Amino acid sequence: MLVLRRTIRSQSYLIRPLHTSRLLLKKKNRGSKANEDDIEVVDLKLYLNQAKERYSKILELQKQKLVELKQGNANPNIFNALVMPSGKKFTDIAITSLRGKNSLLVTVFNPKDTKNVVSTILAANLNLTPERLPDNEQQLRIMLPPPTAESRLKVIKDSKELFESFKSSNSKHSMGSIRRDILDKLKGIQMDDFQKKCIKDLETIHKDYMNQLKEQYKKFESTFNR
């Protein structure tokens, strides 16, 4: 299909066919041919801005995940994904908070659910043992084991897997998939010098954010290798 161009003040705008029933109806009202292609004005720079925005979100997500890795078991959200025997979410039954540096405190909303909360935590195989406080049957204390050489190595391994996933996995939360998506959009328009420049700019942007992703990973890794 022939891609039309229109002279517009900004060179970053191109015209491409767009089949949209609403616009087709408008053309018919103007007396246009029924099979005539509708056109859409596309700002190629918007694609580059989209890439930057999506890359930035990946960096923030990586930061968040690395913080959780560093916390290890000292993460109040560690039980959030657990499901109770009744099928309810753990967070619907209890809430977890950090108590000092070495323990978690689980508060059960209904004392009737305390036993099930204990069994659910034990069944998760997290190497964590909840103990009921003697003066409160709705609260459980969980002592956190000190970090070991083995646990540190696991954190380093997990952080590398996280980096590789954000780098080039097929997930939409990877820089590789974002690059492919934006490239497809840019290449879907008739090639010209400005489009070629945008593709080159995209590669530069991609490389810059990839370096930031790697830098965050290396900085995190170095804290566990000291």
- Element containing residue 181 per DSSP (H, E): helix 175-187
Which of 123, 143, 163 is the endpoint of a domain?
143
Give the pLDDT of residue 194. Answer: 84
Tens of pLDDT, residues 82-107: 999 999 999 999 999 999 889 999 99
Q: What is the CATH number of the domain that holds 128?
A: 3.30.1360.40
Q: Quick check: is 30 in a domain?
A: no
3-state SS, residue 99 = strand
- Same domain? 87 vs 124: yes
Tell me how far apart the alpha carbons of residues 214 and 87 are, in angstroms, rounded to a whole number. 40
Q: How far apart are the first and last CA of the chain?
A: 60
CA-CA distance, 210 to 59, in Å (whole number)?
Answer: 9
* 94/200 same-domain check: no
pLDDT in tens, 118-130: 999 999 999 899 9
Q: Residue 36 pLDDT > 80, yes or no?
A: no
Domains identified in the chain, total number: 2
Residue pLDDT, tens place only, 197-223: 999 999 999 999 999 999 999 999 998
- How many other C-beta atoms lie within 10 A of the C-beta of residue 123? 10
The range of the structural domain enclosing residue 125 comes to: 74-143
Q: Would you state the structure tokens that stand for residue 167, as one six-digit string?
A: 């780098």
Amino acid 28: pLDDT = 40
Range name among 19-33, 54-68, 156-170, 182-196 with the lowest pLDDT average: 19-33
* Residue owning tokens 């900004």: 10
Q: Tell me: do 108 and 206 sit in the same domain.
A: no
Contact (CB, 8 A) for 135 and 126: no
Looking at 85, 115, 143, which one is the last position of a domain?
Answer: 143
Q: In CATH, what number is assigned to the domain containing residue 47?
A: 1.10.132.20
User: Do 115 and 181 have their domain in common?
Assistant: no
* pLDDT for residue 142 is more than 50: yes
Same domain for 104 and 214? Answer: no
Q: Do residue 157 and residue 128 come from a single domain?
A: no
Mean pLDDT score, 177-192: 87
Q: Are residues 154 and 113 in the same domain?
A: no
Residue 214 amino acid letter: K
**Is this model's pTM higher than 0.75 or not?**
no
The residue ranking higher by pLDDT, 30 or 2, is 30
How many distinct helices (H) and strands (E) make up the chain? 7, 6
pLDDT of the residue at 40: 59
143, 168, 200: which is the final residue of a domain? 143
